[in-house]
Amino acid sequence: MEHSQWWRHVVFLFFGIWVPSCFAQMASTVHPSPTPTAKSPEYLKFRLAGHPRKHNEGRIEVFYKGEWGTICDDDFSLANAHVLCRQLGFVSATGWAHSAKYGKGTGKIWLDNVQCSGSERSISVCKSRGWGSSDCTHDEDAGVICKDERLPGFVDSNIIEVQMDERHVEEVRLRPVVSSKRLPVIEGVVEVKYKDRWAQICDNGWTPKNSRVVCGMMGFPHERKVNKNFYKQEAKAKAITKASSKSKPGNSATAKRLYADRQKNYFLVHSVACLGTEIHLAACPLEFNHVNATESCPGGMPAVVSCVPGPEYAQNRAMKKKLKSSSTVRLKGGAKPGEGRVEVLKGNEWGTVCDDRWNMQSASVVCRELGYGSAKEALTGARMGQGIGPIYMNEVQCTGHERSLWNCRYKNITAEDCKHTEDAAVRCNVPYMGFEKTVRITGGRTRYEGRVEVLRTSTNGTQHWGLICGEGWGTSEAMVVCRQLGLGYSNHGMQETWYWDGSNVTNMVMSGVKCTGDELALSQCQQHKTVTCQKTAARFAAGVICSETASDLVLNASLVQQTAYIEDRPLHMLYCAAEEDCLSKSAAKVNWPYGHRRLLRFSSQIHNIGRADFRPKAGRHSWVWHACHGHYHSMDIFTHYDLLSVNGTKVAEGHKASFCLEDSDCQEGVSKRYECANFGEQGITVGCWDLYRHDIDCQWIDITDVKPGNYIMQVVINPNFEVSESDYTNNAMKCNCKYDGHRIWFHNCHTGDAFSEEAERKFEKYPGQLNNEIS
């Protein structure tokens, strides 16, 4: 059998699922697989269908013996849904649906009275009435709702093919030999899990390409050469005695451990032949030992792999500095390290990548370029939120060997090719750091909320859990906790918690925590060396509410630039604005109602391009009625309008006291949900925007006292991080402006992270305004 056909019959992904679509790019260069014969294992295909539904939910349909069919909901359970969702490439199920919720299917009803325990690798091994035996109608078609997180190696495809009852590799790990406590593990013996048992791989014929695949799975971008002499010498029994007499005691212990491990080797795989572009070791041609897996590896030893960590995970500062380089690719909008919307830099401006033909090979190139491992998922359909600005690349086709995404083949975008609803994203394999073991949240109604507790080690070496002082605790600190626990984004950071005290933890062990929001763990944030907390009762401990999705607000910079103008407005028309403190302080000293104020006016159009609605933090009971505007305001501080000197000093500011949030308009196919009138619900829906027109009250900066000159106009949305967002770096907008005393010109308006660092340095000579006080 040809090599290309042979490996397709032994490639199985995590949990034993065969997914040819993951390797469609690779398969396109080889001969197609033969059609299964009567002697071949049965093939199944699974898909989600029906309406209305999302990409991770729908009517479950099975392709068996050349025909699509459904599954009856009799005896259906969440355990069944878990098995089916894993076969569809999702990590688990969150629910299921009965009575044809997603519409009635057609064709056969393949399975009925299905009863799974939840741990099965295929629905075919669960108890049922048998294939094609059913007393149901399509009014009873079952549906599943899967958790929106893919298993490693699955592309974002709706049809998953499964080959049943074949040998497969379930899991891969690096078992450290020299030091088992330091994380991440960058070197060790390669072990594969098969039938709930860990086994080694014989290193005969082991190549750097094999190591590259393993390192990619472990979250590392590159492999490096292993000192085999060390392992071979130290593993020999005779060498142990010599080493113990000539070497340090630590080396003797290592040698003994190596020798002991060698006696227990369980060799399952005796040959691996990776190309180096695979995203999982199971995708490489493997030769299993069919006789006696415990037999020795002739002339060899267990395969050992050593990996090069990316800059974020380097173990010393010198290595971090050496590895870190300016990249022309970045990830935006992700909750966890190594995930996000793919953005590329071209001509000093960042833009996105269209998802046409987006696959695992291209995603892996992005991940490795950024210092992570191979791709875990190649996401389509703006699953990490929509970008702004240009879309630079379409139909990207990488081989997997490229050092940069720009080295891959791609097409330039034309106006009708793509929209930002098609922005590509990735989830990368990242090194395991064990951060989640040092923090927990307790007492909440769900696992996404509760009081934050951290694990501390006493001077005598004992470990205990303790609380964090809630003073100064906010959204940025909560973001780090949610990331550390893998719970997504932070919805709220609470300074007081009224959760049930189920853990009996009462001592404050951490205070003064200050995070930027980018840290991987709370231990990387600033904190007091000695615990200092004025309120030590347990209810004043810090708490969090996490969410799997978040909003993402961004200002339409071009509209600000197009609508900016100066108006000299008579004082007799500004009484209402004066009551709301929308004028500068000097307005109180003039002779009302005579004279005027000079106002810099512009429109603000604030888009929600995230994956959750933007809702005010305050409840309806605390909204403030504004008689001048005729509606309630839900946020006291939503946007800052500032005019800055070229060195960053604030010379004037907008005094818009509060805001009412509503959907002014939406993208095609998206309906408005929020309005200010009639005490309606307030917020900004995903795909909608809130427009503050230039001609409404307080939509201005009072520049009556500003002298002619060059300035920087700055608008910051959600400046206090009061409401959770997936990305705060795009909340600021800046413009160059020239004021001659009579007219004003805006140019070069852009969001804060739209340009390269070099372009930003040319734009301004200061790092950005850091406070909200006028100098």
For 357, the 3-state DSSP assignment is coil
- Any idea which architecture 3-163 has in CATH? Roll (3.10)
Amino acid letter, residue 60? I
Fold held by 435-547: Mac-2 Binding Protein (3.10.250)
Ordered by start, the domain boundaries in the chain are 3-163, 171-308, 317-428, 435-547, 556-763
Q: Which regions in the chain score pLDDT beneath 70?
A: 1-42, 51-53, 152-168, 170, 179-180, 232-265, 290-296, 315-326, 415, 502, 629-631, 655-658, 756, 758-775
The confidence score (pLDDT) of residue 759 equals: 63
List Cα–Cα distances, 67 to 35, 44, 62, 111, 158, in angstroms. 15, 10, 8, 13, 17
Q: Rounded CA gap, 121 and 87, in Å?
A: 8
Residue 218: the pLDDT is 94
Alpha helices in 197-316 (DSSP H): 208-218, 228-235, 237-246, 249-263
**How many Å apart are CA 171 and CA 672, to the nearest integer?**
46
State the CATH architecture for 171-308. Roll (3.10)
Cα separation, 230 vs 188, in Å, equals 12
Are 699 and 693 a contacting pair, CB within 8 Å?
Answer: yes
First CA to last CA distance, the chain: 78
From 88, 29, 89, select the one nearest 63 (Cα to Cα): 88
Scanning the structure block, which residue is given the tokens 């909608």?
Answer: 688
Residue 57's alpha-carbon distances to 87, 142, 370, in angstroms, are 13, 11, 32
- The one-letter code for the residue type at 428 is C
Helix ranges (DSSP H) in 392-515 = 475-484
Asked if 457 and 463 touch (Cβ cutoff 8 Å), the reply is yes
User: 338: closest CA among 361, 315, 312, 309?
Assistant: 312
Rounded to whole angstroms, the Cα distance separating 78 from 94 reads: 8
Token representation of residue 442 = 């307790």
Strand partners, 688: 666
Instruction: With H, G, I as helix, E, B as strand and everything else as coil, classify residue 447.
Output: coil
Look at residue 624 in the predicted model and tell me its pLDDT: 77
pLDDT for 157: 53
Domain range 317-428, its CATH number among 3.10.250.10, 3.30.70.20, 3.90.1150.10, 3.30.9.10? 3.10.250.10
3-class SS of residue 654: coil
Helix (H, G, I), strand (E, B) or coil at 633: strand
Cβ atoms of residues 724 and 475 within 8 Å:
yes
Query: Coil, helix or strand for 401?
Result: coil
Q: Which residues are CB-neighbours of 475 under 8 A, at least 6 positions away? A: 490, 492, 493, 517, 721, 722, 723, 724
CATH topology identical between 317-428 and 435-547: yes
pLDDT of residue 182: 82
How confident is the model over 52-94, as pLDDT tens digits?
667 888 899 999 988 889 999 999 999 999 999 999 988 899 9
Question: Which tokens sit at 685?
Answer: 């829906």
d(CA 413, CA 580): 47
Tell me: the pLDDT tens digits for 647-693? 888 999 886 656 788 999 998 888 999 988 777 888 999 999 999 99
Supply φ then ψ for residue 515, to 5 degrees.
-115, 155
Yes or no: say if 698 and 582 are a contact pair by the CB < 8 Å rule. yes
Beta strands 565-570; 508-510: pairing state = unpaired
d(CA 154, CA 427): 11
* 306 three-class SS: strand
Report the pLDDT value the prediction gives residue 720, as an integer from 0 to 100. Answer: 85
Note the pLDDT of residue 607. 94
